[in-house]
Structure 1
């Protein structure tokens, strides 16, 4: 029986059982465990391993530009305390994803919008919520290619597997980028069904440079903000400040 047990466990895809049952059986015998205690310990290890593997898969599938936690962001003098608490709450509770609500982060370049977006996604992945990060221009190009191949509906449905879709730097999308109307179709497709997190260094008033027409701009913004939280991030660029600090250090004798 013991000779065929590893084969059965492999067929049942119980990897943790297969690699640990013998050592755990020895421990159970030495400590006088009941059969149910032994089985519970095996199941517990298997569940923990599967959860860990799922977390790794979700993290790889998210394509986050980095894995910086939200807590690592220095929000002082950049975000109002009430707004920061709201962001922390969104990272802790995925209920807003279930309701198909959106989050928009506005601010100049270099203030950490992508860090915040990635930090929220990282926290939600820890809560078993699949997320997908895209630079806005890359997403538009991918969707435009799908449209050219008459596969846009299928591409939009594939993105539905992610309760949260992060679109970074939407302000860099321009109307001449092969009909960015596909971005509008994405927004309409996910409206009140799946959540979108958008970062932008451009206010809504400049979004007419993104969509092919002003009416489409109004319709897109209207859908995004219907069930939405908007957070404004202020201050100077982290990158410029760090560059200035390095430059000053190099000049110091």
Structure 2
């Protein structure tokens, strides 16, 4: 047996199998294995770990990209001192993703600028990094997409598309009114996900006023009933986070 020929054969095999990271780190692992007298199995574990680590990172990157998040801010980037109304430990508990295991919802309720979207997105990014299928969409865009699908006669497929995600984030409910036909489509989606998937909602509208948003009290109540049945409502108050620097200058 020719060690040089066998080494080249191994490299060729790794290249053929497209195990790029194992090729790149082969010499390093061989040297480490010889110096530390590793067993064959331990050597293979060390070598394959390089391949797995990169593939995991690529998978995480792909999951986050598919999520269509508006930004990549995480919980660590949130200024809890500026918004003392928020229970920080509750947010950290959301990051355990227990609510997804139990098919529960989260509703962030509060005025514009207090950080609802930031927190909702942060939880979504964390879920995506844990390889949980996650998707972010603004409520208006969701309605427009469903409306377009209805006109093109594939509403059912579009509803199934949004229903499939283990975590769906619907941002800014109530910023624009929703007519009755569109509200029916929205209800269909909420009903399809009810007790099967988790959804995070952000809204600046008190629940009592949702019949004005959906312009049909019975439909609004049916939507709310399914959203809130298994949900944690996080009520946020305080100054606009976006105006924080401006307010600080005024107080100087």
Counterpart position of 2:91: 87
Candidates 49, 58, 64, aligned match of 2:63: 58
**Structure 1: 5+ residue stretches without partners:** none
Q: TM (normalized to structure 1)?
A: 0.87
Q: 1:74 to 1:174 in 2, by over 3 A?
A: same
Match for residue 40 of structure 2? 35
Give the aligned partner of residue 105 of structure 1: 108
- Maintained 8 Å contact 2:104/2:230: yes
CA shift, 1:148, in A, is: 1.7
Alpha-carbon distance in structure 1 between the residues aligned to 2:197 and 2:178: 25
> How far apart, in 1, do the equivalents of 2:189 and 2:157 lie?
12
Aligned mates of 1:94, 1:108 — CA distance in 2: 26
Q: Deviations over 1:129-166 (max 9, x none)?
A: 22211111111111221222222222222234421111
Q: Show the counterpart of 1:16.
A: 21
Give ranges in structure 2 of 5+ residues lacking alignment: 1-5
Of 26, 35, 49, which residue of structure 2 is paired with 1:44? 49
Q: Residue in 2 aligned with 1:187? A: 190
Correspondence 1:67 to 2:68: no
Structure 1 residue 6 displacement after superposition:
4.3
Structure 1 vs Structure 2 CA RMSD: 2.4
Count of residue pairs brought into register by the alignment: 247
Match of 2:138 in 1: 135
Q: Which residue of 2 aligns with 1:211?
A: 214
Equivalent position of 1:164 in the other structure? 167
State whether structure 2 residue 142 is matched by structure 1 residue 145.
no
State the Cα distance separating 1:204 from its structure 2 match: 1.0
Deviates most, 125-134 or 26-35: 26-35
Mean Cα deviation higher: 174-183 or 198-207:
174-183
CA–CA separation in structure 2 for the residues paired with 1:150 and 1:133: 24
